[in-house]
Structure 1
Amino acid sequence: MNSAGLTASGLGLTRNESGRRFPHAEDVAALEELRAEVVETLGGPGWDREWHVYDLDALARVEIDRLVERGLMTPVFAERPGVGRGFAVYGEGEASLEINGADHLRLLGFRGGSQLPALWSLLSRLDDHLEAMFSYAFDPRWGYLSARPRQAGSGMRAYATLHLPAMALTGRLAGTALELAGKGLALVPLWTGAGGMVQVSNLGSQGKSENEIIQQISSICHGIVEKERSIRKMLLRENPLQTRDQIGRALGVGQHAWTVSFPEAVNLVSAVQVGVDLGLVEAPGMAAESAFGLMSRLQPAHIVVDYMDGKIGCLQSPEIDECRAQLLRGIFAGAGALV
């Protein structure tokens, strides 16, 4: 699978109930009342899948961090005080709902690959069901109201995650970010920019429908991806020795290292995947999942929960880096240069 593309998609829908103050200005009793009403609705009939409601006070910090890493919970919500908050996951993680964060309700969806239209189809259905039970705060001029003015309008925030190591290496991301800012879009590093991973999102939602937002981001990302592919070919053509050397070094470290930090792991997977895409490397251990999927499960909380039975409380523990290195050695076993 060629990784020069839209590797993951995310959507957020912000909603508030009419007649209530925003969460930051509301009293505790009213917040708890709304949470109870929403939880009751989630447990009611009419949903295609079951909602799993979490007791946030009972969740270990590492479990919350893993929800953030999966794209099911926003970092801001994870850090907010717990009074009146609620959280639920739809099905097996197809979507999630934050209750009484910055706004009364925030629906979230996250999937690997180019899935914005499919995510919108799902979140729209969930939103319609909620709207049948709650009276949303909506203004004919401003659209859906939000505690964050930029979110007023459709209330949609769309995210596209791109793998752009060649553009990062050649210093082209800064210019692209400026170009997108002029179109009302943001380009920001993901995971501090390790491996050339970035996210493109809309800065606001006023004046555009949900489909227009999705279409704009999809179209822009298609152009960026084509540019990334061109630059990769150019680097191999003009700097073949350096390109092969960087990919080979990454493969060697991945096969033999005994401790690997998360940013380094992302860089290693990124470089080897580029080698696979360019036909320079064969890596059977990476064939079963996307590079982004592999990077995601190498995140600290994923390592602790999925491979260490949640026994490590500190996400900076050296043992996590050791476990990550062991996983990489297994993934890169049998990999090698083709030419």
Structure 2
Amino acid sequence: MLKWYEDANRQQDVIISSRIRLNRNVKGYAFPEQLKDADREGLIGLLKGGIQDAAPNLKYQSLAPGQKAEKDVLRERRVINSAMAESGRKMGLFMSDDESESVLICGDDHIRIQCSMGGLSLQKLWSRANDLDDAVNEKFAYAFDSKYGYLTAFPTTMGTGLKASVLLHLPVTASGRQFRKLLEEITRIGLTIKGAYGEPTENYGALYQISNQKTLGLSEENIIATVHQIAGQIAAQERKARMLLQKEHRGEREDETYKSYGVLKYARRLSLKEGMTYLSQIRAGLNDGYIHMQNPVNIYGLMLGIQPANLAENAGHPVKEEELDVLRAEYIRSQLPDLDGNK
């Protein structure tokens, strides 16, 4: 089955994907970090049984402290965060075959529901996540306070427990002089924007995530509407900037796109920086009509595929550092379609 991020038909221009997360804790239990090993084992067993009944379409896998390679794959695919990938605590994960839905147990909180989809799809995802949350809530009573809402391990998720985020591709906006001002404006309205794979100065690929900073005192509908609106506005700015470049620098942009394609299609070694940078340029070139391919391809899916842990998983064996650049080039050559010479 195709993963949700591999579906070329769901690929959008600027807005890559949307995600909804819900953090919950079971009433009567300490937060995961405070649990003793025996209590953790007992809670994981309890949650596993209940969630299997509530969401029979999700498959379970244990995440033990020693499973670093498996957890790194999930981190690169944005299923778990870096802290959970590095955690020495045992966790469990339920996930759909296409990876669009997951439930992490005993991570930061007892339960973390996540739903992802291509494009600007927060409202649809909220409906799916809310239905899954209701099904799980029928099995377990949540820790809830009439004043503070859902009680969570971190103050930033207390309240609704909801984090709504949108992933955008901003190669032009992020390179402009006004980008820092944009970051400051977004922070002032209670949102945050950060590089998907590092700080803005080293965020190769120009992928940026915008999300709400807090949930306390806000409704789910308000959070979703705000993130949706601001993500749409930033996407519109990026499109406008690209249109201006098309008018004034089309030849340069077209040349840049074809050079990027040539490197990716024929290189025998590619660093992660090179792979992400050239794929970003091709993604923009495809969306802006500078280049055409014989078959559709989801460039974001390729960006995930060239991450180190995913390359090792694809190889089927542990990979030495010096092998990664060779495997990355081989992977891209095998996945990148030929150009359509008729367009």
TM-score by length of 2: 0.88
- For 2:140 and 2:127, how far apart are their aligned partners in 1? 20
- For 2:171 and 2:83, how far apart are their aligned partners in 1? 28
Pick from 26, 30, 33 the counterpart of residue 39 of structure 2: 30
Asked if the contact 2:68–2:85 (Cα under 8 Å) also holds between the matched residues in 1, the reply is no
What amino acid is the match of 2:328?
Answer: R
Asked if the contact 1:187–1:199 (Cα under 8 Å) also holds between the matched residues in 2, the reply is yes
Q: Which piece of structure 1 moves more, 225-234 or 19-28?
A: 19-28
- For 1:218 and 1:320, how far apart are their aligned partners in 2? 37
Matched with 2:182 is 176
Pick from 76, 79, 89 the counterpart of residue 86 of structure 2: 79
Asked if the contact 1:280–1:338 (Cα under 8 Å) also holds between the matched residues in 2, the reply is no
- For 1:199 and 1:264, how far apart are their aligned partners in 2? 21
Change beyond 3 A, Cα 1:336–1:176: farther
Q: Where do residues 148-187 of structure 1 align in structure 2 (5 Å cutoff)? A: 148-187=154-193
Pick from 263, 266, 269 the counterpart of residue 256 of structure 1: 266
Q: Does 1:335 align with 2:342?
A: no
SS of residue matched to 1:194? coil
Aligned-pair distance for 1:338?
8.2
- For 2:114 and 2:283, how far apart are their aligned partners in 1? 29
- For 1:258 and 1:72, how far apart are their aligned partners in 2? 30
Matched with 1:57 is 64
Pick from 233, 239, 260 the counterpart of residue 229 of structure 1: 239
Asked if the contact 1:15–1:137 (Cα under 8 Å) also holds between the matched residues in 2, the reply is yes
Pick from 9, 22, 26 the counterpart of residue 18 of structure 2: 9
What amino acid is the match of 1:198?
Answer: Y
Change beyond 3 A, Cα 1:235–1:154: same
What amino acid is the match of 2:333?
Answer: R
Matched with 2:77 is 70
What amino acid is the match of 1:164?
Answer: L
- For 2:259 and 2:85, how far apart are their aligned partners in 1? 37
Matched with 1:120 is 126
Asked if the contact 2:44–2:105 (Cα under 8 Å) also holds between the matched residues in 1, the reply is yes
Change beyond 3 A, Cα 1:86–1:331: closer
Matched with 2:30 is 21
Q: Percent identity?
A: 28
Asked if the contact 1:72–1:110 (Cα under 8 Å) also holds between the matched residues in 2, the reply is no
What amino acid is the match of 1:101?
Answer: G
Q: Which piece of structure 1 moves more, 158-167 or 5-14?
A: 5-14
Asked if the contact 2:12–2:118 (Cα under 8 Å) also holds between the matched residues in 1, the reply is no
- For 2:230 and 2:25, how far apart are their aligned partners in 1? 30
Q: Deviations over 1:68-127 (max 9, x none)?
A: 2222222211211124x3222245423222222222211122232223222222221121
Q: Where do residues 222-301 of structure 1 align in structure 2 (5 Å cutoff)? A: 222-285=232-295, 287=296, 289-301=297-309
What amino acid is the match of 1:163?
Answer: H
- For 1:36 and 1:25, how far apart are their aligned partners in 2? 17
Matched with 2:6 is none
Aligned-pair distance for 1:261?
1.9
- For 1:280 and 1:69, how far apart are their aligned partners in 2? 29
- For 1:209 and 1:179, how far apart are their aligned partners in 2? 22
Aligned-pair distance for 1:333?
5.5
- For 1:60 and 1:9, how far apart are their aligned partners in 2? 28
Q: Deviations over 1:52-77 (max 9, x none)?
A: 22122397432221122222222211
- For 2:290 and 2:342, how far apart are their aligned partners in 1? 5
- For 1:87 and 1:330, how far apart are their aligned partners in 2? 31
What amino acid is the match of 1:320?
Answer: L
Asked if the contact 1:73–1:108 (Cα under 8 Å) also holds between the matched residues in 2, the reply is no
Change beyond 3 A, Cα 1:21–1:334: closer
- For 1:184 and 1:338, how far apart are their aligned partners in 2? 48
Q: Deviations over 1:205-242 (max 9, x none)?
A: 11222222111111111111111011112123223343
SS of residue matched to 2:64? helix
TM-score by length of 1: 0.89
What amino acid is the match of 1:328?
Answer: I
Asked if the contact 1:95–1:110 (Cα under 8 Å) also holds between the matched residues in 2, the reply is yes
Q: Deviations over 1:279-299 (max 9, x none)?
A: 2212235x1x33222222222
Q: Deviations over 1:265-309 (max 9, x none)?
A: 121111122222222212235x1x332222222222222223x12
SS of residue matched to 1:200? strand
